Chains A and B, each alone.
Chain A
Amino acid sequence: MSQRTERRGIHVDQSDLLCKKGCGYYGNAAWQGLCSKCWREEYQRVRQKQIQDDWALAEKLQREEEAAYASSQGVQSHSQSTPPQQPPGHTSLGPFSKFEEKKTNEKTRKVTTVKKFFSPSSRSASKKETQEGKSPSPSISRHASFDTDQVSRDFVDFLKNLQKTGREIHKQCRAFIMNMSSKKDLSAEELSECVQDFYQSMADRLMSHFKGSSDSVEQVMDQVEKYIMTRLYKSVFCPETTDDEKKDLATQDRIRALHWVTIQMLCVSMDEEIPEVSENVDKAITDIIEMDSKRVPRDKLACITRCSKHIFSAIRITKNEPASADDFLPALIYIVLKANPPRLQSNIQYITRFCNPSRLMTGEDGYYFTNLCCAAAFIEKLDAQSLNLSPEEFERYMSGQASPRFSSSEGDWPHSGHGVTATNPVLAQLNHNLELLSGLSSRQETLMESARSLQADLLSWPDTVQREVNDILEKYPLEVRSCTVSAIDANNMDNDNLPPPLTPQVFAG
C-alpha cells in the first residue's frame, strides 16, 4: 500500500497513459495498460479461447475415458457403451438420468443462516468502485488453465475406479460447469444455490449408490467439489454483483486501525516469550494468510484448520492443558489481528457459499471455520467494552493519540520495557537492544572519563618530574670544592710538566 502511494508521485509521460491498443482513450494499469473497452475485448477473447480449450480438453478426456473403459471392461459391456463422440453435456438415460430433476426441498437452510449473519447492510457497491484495483489479467487466466487441466486429469483418474458411475459423475459435472458458465448474471446467492443444489442431488445419488456409506460419498464429493470449484473459482470468487470486495477493504482497514490491541487486552493464553509458542504463532499467521491463495473451498478450510492446530499447540505449551473454546477464540482473534489475512470477507463468503455443506456443518473443519467467522464478526463489532477499556481510552487508542504500550511510561523509555515485553516479541527485542545500548554508552562514558584523567595525568607528569628534580637539586646543591691535590698528583709532585687537573664545570640543569 505504501508502495502504491509512493508510485503516485512519479511523473509519467502522457503517452504512457494512453491505451496500448492506440485507440486514443486512456489506459489503466489495472487493465494492463488498455482502456476499459479494449480490455474487455481482450479479456473476452482470452476467455473465449479458454472456453474453447476447455471444450477441447473435455472432449479429449472423454475420448480417453471411453478408451480406458473399453479396455478395462472389454467384451462384457458392449451393449451399454455410449457413442464415443457424444455431444457434450448430453444427459444419458443411465442410473443418473433424473439427476437434476430430483429436487430436494430442504435446500440450503444450512448456508442461508450464515449468509444472513454476514449479509451486507447495503448492497450498492458501484461497479466502478468494484473494478478498481482488480486486475484479472489474461495471462494469469492462461496460467491458471494449466492447473485446471491438471485438476481435470486427476478427477478423471479418480473416477476411473468407479467405472460406469464415475463416467456418469464426470458427465454430470461437466454439464453443470457448462451450464453455470451461461449464468453469469445470477447473484452470488443464486450461484451458491445452484452449486449447493448440485452437491445435494449428487450426494443423494451417491448415497443410494454406495448404499449409505457416507465415507465413500464424502470421498467422491471432495473430488467433485475440487473439480467444479477449480473451474468456477474465477467467476464466483468475490463476484462483481456483491460488495464482498468493499467489505474486504473495510475489514483490512479496521484491522490496521486496531494495531494497538495487545495480547493482554484479549486475555489470550499464549506466552510468546516461550520460543516454541512464538514459533507456533508465526506458523498460525502464515497458514491463515495462505488461505487466500487456494481455489478449492476445502483447501481454504484446510488452511484454517492448520492455523487452528498451531494455536492449540501454542496454548497447550503455555497452559499445559488442552485448549477450550474460552482459550481458542481469543487466540484466533489475536492471530487474525496480527495476520490481517488478505480478502478475509471474500474468503469467508466463498467458503460459505460453495463448500460442500456436510463438511461445514458437523466436521472439525467446520468448527474452526465457524470460529473464524466469529473472530471476523468480533473484530468488526469490537468496542471499548470488548477489551475492558474505558470508552475514552478506546477512543484515544483508535485515534492514535495514545498508545497502550508507552503511555504509562513516557520519558523513561529505555528502561520501561519490562512490563511490556510479554506483549510483543519485536518490542521485547527492541527493549533488549535499548538496554544493551544504554549499557554500552555508560561503559563508554567511563572509558572517556579514564582517558581524560589519563591525559591530564600525562600532561602534568613532566611538571611533576621537573618539580621533583628541582626539589632534589635544591636539597642537594652541587658544591664545587677547590680540592687540593689528588693522591695521584701527590705521588707525582715533582712532575711539573703535567697539565693541571681538570676543574669540574657546573652546568645549570
Chain B
Amino acid sequence: MAAAGAGGGGRTYSFKVVLLGEGCVGKTSLVLRYCENKFNDKHITTLQASFLTKKLNITGKRVNLAIWDTAGQERFHALGPIYYRDSNGAILVYDITDEDSFQKVKNWVKELRKMLGNEICLCIVGNKIDLDKDRHVSVEEAESYAESVGAKHYHTSAKLNKGIEELFLDLCKRMMETAQAEERVKGNGASQSASSRRGVQIVDDEPQATPAGGCCSSG
C-alpha cells in the first residue's frame, strides 16, 4: 500500500524505505549519518540503528519516513521479500571501490522490479566517494545502468556527509508524487462493488446453525 495514511491536503505521508546491499558497503553508516549526523562514533545515543525514523516537511507537507535496515549477510538474502513488501522506496547501496557490491545491486533491482513492479521508487547509491582514488565502478557505467532500469543514481560519502541529505529529500519527493498519482487513480476508479457482501447486518437467525467445532483453544 503506497503511503499508509497518506493523501492530499494537510495530511501526513508515511513512507517505508528499505536499505538493501551487500555487507560493509555503508548502509548503517548512511542512515546514522542522516538521522544522527554521526559517523563511526562511539557516542551514538540510539540503542539500535536498524529501524530509524525521520520527520520532514516538504513544501508544506508532513512526511514520516521510516528507514528499515536489512541484514546484508548472504544467508539472509532469501528473506528479502519479507523485508521489502509494502515499501514505498528502496535504497540500493554499493561501495564504489567494490565491483562485486555493484553486481549485487543489479541483482536487487531485478528482483524488486519483478516482485513490486514500478510502484517502488528505486535509488542506486554509490557510497564512499571519499575513496575515489580506489574507485572500481565507473560513474558512467553506474549512472547509465540506473537510467536503464528507471532508478535514480546518487553519489554519497557517509564519512564526509556528502550527498546524503539530497538522496533522502529527493526520494521523499518522488514517493510523494507516486502516492499522489495513485490517489488520483483511486479517486477516479473507486468502486462500490462487493460492499453489500460485508454490509452491516443484524444477526437474528439461529447462530447454532453453524457448528462451532470447538477448535479455537483459548490462550
Contact = CB atoms under 8 A, between A and B. Distances in A.
A79 B47 CA distance: 56
A113 B81 CA distance: 9
A39 B214 contact: yes
A329 B217 contact: no
Binding site of A, secondary structure by majority: helix, strand, loop or mixed? Answer: helix
The 3 tightest CB contacts between A and B, nearest first, are A240-B215, A325-B69, A103-B195
Interface in A337-374: 357-358, 361-364, 367-368, 370, 373-374
Interface in A84-126: 87-91, 99-106, 109-110, 113-114, 117
Contact of B216 (A217, A238, A385): A238
Nearest to B68: A367
Interface in B39-80: 42, 44, 46-51, 53, 64, 66, 68-73, 75-76, 78-79
Given A179-B200, A357-B1, A381-B78, A101 B192 contact: yes
A293 interface: yes
A313 B72 CA distance: 21
A135 B217 contact: yes
Given A89-B203, A90-B202, A361-B1, A323 B216 contact: no
B48 A136 contact: no
Nearest to A326: B71
Contacts of A51: 207
B71 A328 contact: yes
Interface stretch (A12-20, A42-50, A255-263): A42-50
Binding site of B, secondary structure by majority: helix, strand, loop or mixed? Answer: loop
A63 to B, nearest CB: 19
Interface stretch (A229-237, A444-452, A493-501): A229-237
Contact of A91 (B71, B200, B213): B200
A324 B214 contact: no
A138 B143 CA distance: 66
A131 interface: yes
Nearest to B189: A105
Interface string B182-199: 000010011111110011
Interface residues of B, number: 68
A238 B217 contact: yes
A88 B47 CA distance: 50
Interface string A195-216: 0011000010001000110100
A480 B105 CA distance: 120
B15 interface: yes
B201 interface: yes
Contact of B86 (A110, A211, A325): A110
B216 A322 contact: no
Interface of A: 31, 39-40, 43-44, 47-48, 51, 87-91, 99-106, 109-110, 113-114, 117, 127, 130-131, 134-136, 140-141, 144, 172, 175-176, 178-179, 181-182, 184-185, 194, 197-198, 203, 207, 211-212, 214, 217, 233-240, 267, 292-295, 309, 312-313, 315-316, 320-330, 357-358, 361-364, 367-368, 370, 373-374, 377-378, 381, 385-386
Given A182-B201, A358-B4, A136 B215 contact: yes
A237 B1 contact: no
A103 B10 contact: no
B205 interface: yes
Contacts of B64: 362
Nearest to B116: A113
B47 A313 contact: yes
Contact of A43 (B15, B27, B51, B212): B212
Contacts of A101: 192, 195, 199
Contact of A89 (B9, B200, B213): B200
9 contacts: A47-B212, A103-B193, A134-B217, A238-B217, A240-B213, A326-B69, A326-B72, A358-B5, A374-B82
Given A110-B86, A361-B1, A362-B14, A367 B51 contact: yes
Given A328-B71, A370-B82, A293 B199 contact: no
B200 A103 contact: no
A140 B214 CA distance: 12
Contact of B200 (A47, A99, A135): A99
Contacts of B217: 134-136, 238
Given A323-B48, A324-B49, A385 B11 contact: no
A323 B86 contact: no
B44 A321 contact: yes
B101 to A, nearest CB: 15
Contact of B213 (A131, A211, A267): A131
A176 to B, nearest CB: 7
Given A89-B203, A100-B200, A309-B47, A325 B85 contact: no
B202 A175 contact: yes
A330 B82 contact: no
B218 interface: yes
A237 B216 contact: yes
A172 B202 CA distance: 11
Contact of B203 (A181, A211, A358, A361): A181
Contacts of A87: 202
Interface in B154-204: 186, 189-195, 198-203
A181 B73 CA distance: 46
A293 B191 contact: no
